Structures are given as structure tokens and as C-alpha cells.
Structure 1
Amino acid sequence: MGIEKEIRAKAEEYRDYTATLLSEMVKIKSYSSEEEAVCRKIKEMCEEAGFDEVYFDGLGSVIGRIGSGPKILAFDAHIDTVTTGDLSAWKKDPFSGEIDDTYVWGRGTSDQKGGAASMITAGKILKDLGYDKDYSVYFTFTVMEEDCDGMCWKYLIEEEKLIPNFAVSTEPTSCRLYRGHRGRMEMVVTLKGISSHGSAPERGVSAAYKASRAALAMEKLNSELKPDAENFLGKGTIVVSEMKVNGPSQCAVPDQAMLYLDRRLTWGEDAALAISQVKEYITEALGEEPESVTMPDYSKRGWKNTDYSQELYFPTWKIDEDHEIVKAGVSAHTDLFGKAPVVDKWTFSTNGVAICGRHKIPMIGFGPGDESEAHAPNEKNRIEDLVICSAFYAMLPYKLS
């Protein structure tokens, strides 16, 4: 029996095991920065699966290793989730982890504890097969991604000095192979007016009206942004996600305003360009420059209570279709399943913004579940996807070797 047949048979043998792993994770709430309980459970799961090493890093992510080769291949899954939102929109308990013939149900099943469950099974398969090839295979179960994508990996690379030769994000791809996605950044625009009594608005300058014109300028900017030259990642976008107006009282012309902006960055766009565009379009709309356009920092503490922060800038990334890691992924999929995978990209953002966008480590994406399930009510993941992905993750180290 060839290695691909052994791996497929093992992945199928562990079908129920993998679904149960995911179910147990889903039953544990793990909102960003509140992941301690699920991290401790995942560490226990990795130890029971026979991993060679399992530990917590300084931020609280779980780091597992199998093999001791001179090169490093890392598989990543973030194990924090967003909240449930409106519970009345859920048909099932979001933390039930219910398993039926087709799906595992609950918050985080696709985004993205499904990838984590398949990673543990892949590690178990590698141990069963006695993997001892060229790679130390790391499985990282990372924290705080929903709040600040990539910061966990910025910490791993810059502080813990875990620097892979290649990486795989297990965010949901519907079992397609992804090779990039747009970056993003957040911006705060401040505007100033002049207050006056509400009975005589002509004496003041309304920051609210300035904010309204600035918001419409962002709508115009969004319509005029262009796709990347290859037209692979598509066009960048910008949206006003929050507006606030303040003044001396409810009976006064407001003298302060704030716009919060979410900017998605296609290939060739960066923070400096995005900030300059915002200033240009608002200046054109108002006839004057905004008071400021800044990029805020994220500095929330996680469950390990470690001080760490970064600016809210997440660089765009993509790698060529003929890159070694893409070819290895295509070959692994073809050997396992008799056909090449669809090669595409994500719409949303992942930890790839740090791994490949910031630190230029070649990576691909391959994960169970659908992107459309992310942050949605009645989230679920196909059990068949879990099986496919556990086989793919176990096969890839052999292909790279």
C-alpha cells in the first residue's frame, strides 16, 4: 500500500475521532483573549494523540510538534471565536457541539476549530506512520486572531523565534487550495468644527456635517479603487464602520467627529497609500484637510496576561501558482484524491498577514468548512471535510520531503 493510501485509510478510520475532537472544542467558549480553557483542552488532546512536544507560548497559543527534521513546516489554526450574536437566530445551541450524519454544529466549527481538529488527527496519523522525514512538523493552535489577525504569529516569529520554512493556514477553504488574500488596516479620522448654541447654528461649524461629507467621500473612494494587475485578489475596499459626533450638549452644534474605517488592501496597496487616499478624498470633500488620519494599535492582554501589541495593519500576501509549496499541495491532493484541487484565494483575512504578508514565509491555505459559515448563526462544518483535511495535512510533509 502506498503512503497516500495508508493516510487516506487512517483519516477515514479516525472520522468519528476527528468529529468528536471538534465537538469537544466547540463546547468550550473561547472568545478572543478568553481561550485558556480550550487551550488547556487542546494541549491535553495533542498529548493523548502522541505528539513529541506540546507547550504554551508566551501569549497562550498551544504549540505541538511531531518529528525532528532540520526544516520546519507549520500548520496553523486559530482557536478563538467571535461571539454568538443574536441567539434567537440560532436553531441549535451554539455550544452544543452536536454531531449528526453530515455535520458538526456550533460556533467555531468552520471558523476555525475544524482546522484544529483535523490538525490533531493529522498529527496522530503521522505518529502512527512513524514519520521521520526532513521536517519538524509544528501544529499551532493560536489565540486572539479574531481581535487582531496575525499578532499571534508575529509573536511566534519575533519573540519565540519559531520561523517555518513553509506554513499552512487551516482557515475554511471548502477543501480548496488558497494562495493569498487581501490585506487590511484600520484607520481613525478625526474632524473638528466650532460649537455654538443649537438655537443659532449659523454661529458654529458642524463637525457632524463634516463627518457626513467625509463618509460620502469614502463611498466615492471605495467606488474608484482598482483591482490588482493580475486581477487575482480583486479590488481593495473601504467602509466607514463607525461614526461618532460630540459637542458641549444636546443643544449645541457639535465640534468633534470621528470616523472609523475598515480598509481592505489588494496587491500593491499599503498603509501609506491608503492613508494618503483618505486624506486626499476628505480634503476634496471638505475643502480642508482632516484634523488627523491615524492607524490605531491593538494592545489587549490575553489569558497569559502578557503585554504585547501591534498597529492595526495587516499586509496583503500572495504566492505564485508555480511556487514549491503550492505545487506540493496540488501534488498531495492529487495523490490522495485522484484530482487536483481548485486553487483560489480567501475573501477575508487570516494569520497569513503575519506569516507571509509581514514575514514573507511561503504559505498556502487548505481548510475544512466554508468561508460563508464564518461569524454566521447556525455555523457548521462537514465531517467529510474534516477527513479530507486530516489526510491532506498528514500527506504534505511527505510531499515536501
Structure 2
Amino acid sequence: SAVYGAKIMKDLGLIPAGYKIMVVGSVQEEDCDGMCWQYIVNKDFQGQEDARSKIEFVVSTEPTDGGIYRGHRGRMEIRVDVKGVSCHGSAPERGDNAIYKMADILQDVRALNESGDGPSNRVKGLVKMLNPEFNPAHYEDAQFLGRGTCTVSQIFYTSPSRCAVADSCAISIDRRMTAGETWDSCLEEIRQLPSVQKYGDDVKVSMYMYDRPAWTGEVYETECFFPTWINKESAAHVQALVDAHHALWGDKRIGHADADPKRDAMHLREGRPLTDKWTFSTNCVSIQGRYGIPCVGFGPGAESQAHAPNEITWKQDLVTCAALYAAVPGLYKPENKTADVTEFRQSLTDNDIK
């Protein structure tokens, strides 16, 4: 859709004077969202300021269920390591079982995701960030993006054998971050869990780093931190897509209708606002979240189809998106661009992103 959209612009003379249209195909997004754009900004451009001065805005073509998406939650990958002392399994009281310690921590991580934020909650749940009492500066944006979440995605251990006490245990936590949360606040939240405090220096909480080589062998090391981002609905680049959709297709989401619910797009789209947000994460975590380059989403397919068995994309969506992409540059009004359009979490919440 993006390639055909660019071709349509070129063939019909729809590219405004002084502008260049770039179609970017990048790798490793599923492994480390936005890392590819970190490389683009710092290698193909001369860093953040150079990229921001040359890139007016970016349209992400990830699937949007027929909607125009102006933000999504961020995420980070957290590791918790617990130390124990091994001994022979016939006398476990001589050791210190790291798996038992981790069992306590697992229950607190689960409570962090599932509990409420009332005074009776031993662990106040992540839902608290929707509450102005706990998130006065950003609760409205958090209510739009949705609450943060956390879940344990992996567990590891070391033990001399199956007849010995485990001397270490570790878990990975997938942490989704809403407006007002930072990498520091998320790490500190885990460190302050009652069970983590209970085991003191035997527990280490850290953020993963990413350093897997690309297909070329290139390694671009970065933190496994993917910032939250959001635009105002009135932002000029968001409105350009809205205006294009209204002119071409009206003010409602459109898509293929089919008697077979598995092949019907509209049951996923009816009743949902045209301008919305993603549930999952995209390269926009770097494009706008790290670097402040305005970003907006409109792409073929359904979020629920991403990574699903026998995933499908609707052919009608491909045409719809190509047409909208072609119309957007001519409807973009740079005079309506404001300096605070991308001023969001990372500059407001003191994350020291290198």
C-alpha cells in the first residue's frame, strides 16, 4: 500500500513542492521495536536534530482496523534475579531455595497487574495511573491509551541437579506503560513490592539490553525500553489523515463485509471511533517516543490478525490505504503545526535516553 501510494503521488503530481516521499522497509521490529529507526536517525541522518529538521512526519502502516491511530502505550522488558543457596534435596532446610522466594515475588507481580488502587490493596495495581490522585499530570492521556499492564513472560533457574535446592531463579516481565510512567518508575515499582523488599539484597531488578545481530551481522545495542507516545487529535499530521479519510471514504471506518465472520472486517470496526490508538507497540516508540518526529498510524489489516495462525489481510484495505496515503501530502497544513505536537512523556518525565 505504501509503495503504491507513493507511485500514485508521483504519477498524479501529488507531491508538494520541496518535499520528498520516502517509503521505509525496516528489519527486527518484532524483536526490538524502533531499534531500526534508532539506526536510521543516527546513521542515515546526523542524529535527532538533523532527522527532526528533515522529516515532517511519518505514517506507520501497521494494521489499524480501518482507524487512524494517534498513539499507543510504551513497553519495557524487566528482569528480576533472585539468589539462593544450594544444598542436597534430602535436607532442603540446609539451603535457601531461590524458587520459593521467586514464588512470593510472582504473586506480587500478578497483584500489581490485577489489584485495584484502594487503601485496602497491599499492592496497588497499575490501574492507579488512570486515577488523577496518582497521576495528576497525565491521567487523561492514560485514560485514552489504556492502563499499563505487566505479565511474567519467562522463568529461569539454576540448580546442580534435580535432587538439589535451586540456588538462583530469574523471571522476565513484559511491562506495558501508559502515560506518566517512566523506566525509572517501572523499575522502582518492582523494587518496592513487599516480597522484593522482604528478600533485600538477594533480589536484583534490571532492564534488559538488546544486542542481537541483524541479518547483515550489524549489532546496534540499545535498552529494551520503548517509550509511550501520543499526539493531540488536532495535530496537523493527524488531521491530514482525518481530512483525507473524510474526503475519500467518510467519517466512519470502512472495510470488507463478508458472511463468514473469519473473513469479515467490519465486525472488528463498527462502533469504534475513527481516530483511536493501538493496543500493541510499533516503531513509533522511537520515531516519536524517542526522537519527537511526528508520527501517526493508518495501515491495512486488523490488530487481532497480527501474529495469528493463518493471518489474513483484506485486499480492500490495501486499496483504501494506498488511496489515502496518496491524498495526505496535499491535505497537510504545515501552518497548523505546533511546537508541542510531540511534546510528550519522555521529555516530561525525566527519562535519560541516550
TM-score, normalised by the number of residues in structure 2:
0.77
Task: Confirm or deny that 1:368 pairs with 2:270.
Answer: no
Matches within 5 A, 1:39-50: none
Q: Secondary structure at the match of 2:25?
A: strand
Partner of 2:347: none
Q: Deviations over 1:255-293 (max 9, x none)?
A: 111111110000110110000011111545734355311
Whole-Å separation in 2 of the counterparts to 1:212 and 1:154? 37
Partner Cα distance (2:15, 2:309) in 1: 42
Partner of 2:89: 198
5 Å matches for 1:237-316?
Answer: 237-281=149-193, 283=195, 286-316=198-228
Instruction: Please point out which of 230, 245, 259 is paired with 1:318.
Output: 230
Structure 2 equivalent of residue 182 of structure 1: 73
What is the alpha-carbon distance in structure 2 between the residues aligned to residue 203 and residue 180 of structure 1?
53
Q: 1:155 aligns with which of 30, 39, 49?
A: 39
SS in 1 for 2:296: strand
2 CA distance for matches of 1:375 and 1:242?
Answer: 19
2 CA distance for matches of 1:281 and 1:338? 49
- Whichever residue aligns with residue 154 of structure 1, its letter is Q
Amino acid at match of 1:374: A
Equivalences for 1:9-24 in 2 at 5 Å? none
- Give 1:118-157 correspondences, 5 Å limit: 118-134=1-17, 135-157=19-41
Is the contact between residue 14 and residue 326 of structure 2 (CA under 8 Å) also seen in structure 1? no
Task: Judging by fraction of residues, say which structure has more strand.
Answer: 1
Question: Could you tell me whether the CA contact under 8 Å between 2:108 and 2:195 is conserved in 1?
Answer: no
Match of 1:221 in 2: 112
Provide the rounded CA distance (Å) in 2 between the counterparts of 1:132 and 1:181.
Answer: 29
Unpaired segments ≥5 residues, structure 1: 1-117
How has the CA–CA distance of structure 1 residues 201 and 325 changed in structure 2, closer, same or farther, with 3 Å as cutoff? Answer: same
Please say which of residues 129-138 and 151-160 is displaced more in the overlay.
Answer: 129-138
Task: Note the C-alpha offset of 1:336.
Answer: 1.2
Asked whether the equivalents of residues 150 and 355 of structure 1 are also in contact (C-alpha less than 8 Å), the reply is yes
How far apart in 1 are the matches of 2:160 and 2:89?
10
Call closer, same or farther: CA 1:340–1:325 in 2, change over 3 Å.
farther
AA partner of residue 263 (structure 1) = R
Query: Which secondary structure does the structure 1 equivalent of 2:21 belong to?
Result: strand
Amino acid at match of 1:343: T
**Alignment CA distance shift 1:154-1:304 (3 Å):** same
The CA deviation at 1:181 is 0.4
Count of equivalent residues: 284
C-alpha distance in 1, partners of 2:149/2:305? 22
Residue 71 of structure 1: aligned partner: none
Identity over aligned pairs, percent: 44
What residue in structure 2 maps to residue 351 of structure 1?
Answer: 283
Counterparts in 2 of 1:132 and 1:245: CA distance versus 1, 3 Å: closer
Shift in Å, 1:132: 4.1
User: In angstroms, what is the RMSD of aligned CA positions?
Assistant: 1.5
What residue ranges of structure 2 are gaps of 5+ in the alignment?
Answer: 46-50, 115-124, 131-138, 254-273, 334-354
Cα distance in 1 for partners of 2:65, 2:10 equals 26
SS in 1 for 2:200: coil
Deviations 1:346-393 (A, max 9, x none): 000000100111111111100110000011001011111111000011
* Contact 1:174–1:385 (8 Å) recurs in 2: no
